[in-house]
């Protein structure tokens, strides 16, 4: 099973009507070494360019792996390693996800997740491996200088929720996630 983020590019079959794509198949995922069971689908809509959502995670016993895709518009998606003892703790990887390209990113447990919208009226859909549990909700402030993410924002700046604007810094995190021996690397494509 994967323990670092992976970029997936499901095939699209085109004809004169448009295209068809199998966006998730348990059998295809298993053949690629992804043995996750997804239990909930989520979707978000962001009206403004520069909407930042994250950096979010859910603590055990309801930790979540996520399979994220952009179904309308485009985003930059980020995964921050928050596995205690990891040599890449606090580092991040990112990928551009577009509705046009159909890319997906698989984010294992132990990573904080966030994204920024690159245009107006963006929709993002993601599958998760555990149900939402408010008592396990966690996050990091999006612009923590110790993480150092570059967020491509419009001149008006980031559009944030009050909750996301008040999240703590990485230095304040007592991470509940253990390092599993796989350091964060550039995102491989499957």
| Greater model confidence, 149 or 8 | 149
Q: What is the pLDDT of residues 37-67, one digit of tens each?
A: 999 999 999 999 999 999 999 999 999 999 9
Q: What is the pLDDT of residues 74-109, one digit of tens each?
A: 999 999 999 999 999 999 999 999 999 999 999 999
| Greater model confidence, 7 or 117 | 117
Q: Residue 37: which domain range?
A: 6-11+21-176
pLDDT for 2 equals: 63
Q: Does the structure show a pLDDT above 80 at 23?
A: yes
Domain tally for the chain? Answer: 1
Q: What is the pLDDT of residues 116-161, one digit of tens each?
A: 999 999 999 999 999 999 999 999 999 999 999 999 999 999 999 9
pLDDT for 1 equals: 55
Cα–Cα dist 82/151, whole Å: 19
**Does the residue 186 lie in any domain?**
no
**Does the residue 80 lie in any domain?**
yes
pLDDT for 67 equals: 96
Nearest CA-CA partner of 73 in 25, 29, 124, 27: 124
**Does the residue 90 lie in any domain?**
yes
Helix (H) or strand (E) holding 18: strand 18-21
Please give the distance of CA 103 from its chain centroid, rounded to a whole number.
Answer: 12
Residues 6+ apart with CB under 8 A from 169: 140, 141, 144, 146
CATH for 163: 2.60.120.10
What confidence tier does 188 reach under pLDDT thresholds 50, 70, 90? low
Other Cβ atoms closer than 10 A to 159: 18
What confidence tier does 33 reach under pLDDT thresholds 50, 70, 90? confident
Active site residues: 56, 126
Structure tokens at 149: 């993410």
Whether the CB-CB separation of 182 and 93 falls below 8 Å is answered with no
**Does the residue 188 lie in any domain?**
no
**Does the residue 69 lie in any domain?**
yes
| Greater model confidence, 177 or 14 | 177
Q: Does the structure show a pLDDT above 60 at 190?
A: no
**Does the residue 181 lie in any domain?**
no
pLDDT for 4 equals: 83
Structure tokens at 164: 């996301």
**Does the residue 183 lie in any domain?**
no
Cα–Cα dist 70/75, whole Å: 7
**Does the residue 144 lie in any domain?**
yes
Query: Phi, psi at residue 157, to the nearest 5°?
Result: 90, -170
- pTM of the predicted model as reported, rounded to 2 decimal places: 0.92
């Amino acid at each position: 099973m994967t323990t670092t983020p992976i970029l997936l590019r499901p095939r699209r079959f085109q004809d004169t009507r448009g295209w068809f794509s199998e966006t998730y198949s348990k059998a295809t995922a298993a053949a690629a070494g992804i043995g996750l069971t997804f239990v909930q689908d989520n979707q978000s809509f962001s009206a403004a360019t520069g909407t930042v959502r994250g950096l979010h995670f859910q603590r055990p016993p309801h930790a979540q792996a996520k399979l994220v895709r952009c179904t309308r518009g485009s985003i930059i998606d980020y995964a921050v390693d928050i596995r205690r003892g990891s040599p890449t703790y606090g580092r991040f990887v990112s990928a551009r996800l577009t509705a046009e390209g159909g890319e997906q990113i698989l984010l294992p447990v132990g990573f904080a997740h966030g994204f920024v919208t690159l245009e107006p009226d963006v929709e993002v859909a993601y599958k998760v491996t555990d149900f939402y549990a408010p008592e396990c909700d966690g996050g990091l402030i999006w612009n923590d200088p110790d993480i150092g993410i570059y967020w491509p924002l419009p001149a008006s700046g980031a559009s944030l929720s009050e909750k996301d604007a008040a999240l703590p810094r990485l230095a304040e995190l007592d991470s509940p996630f253990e390092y599993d021996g796989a350091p964060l690397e550039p995102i491989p494509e499957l």
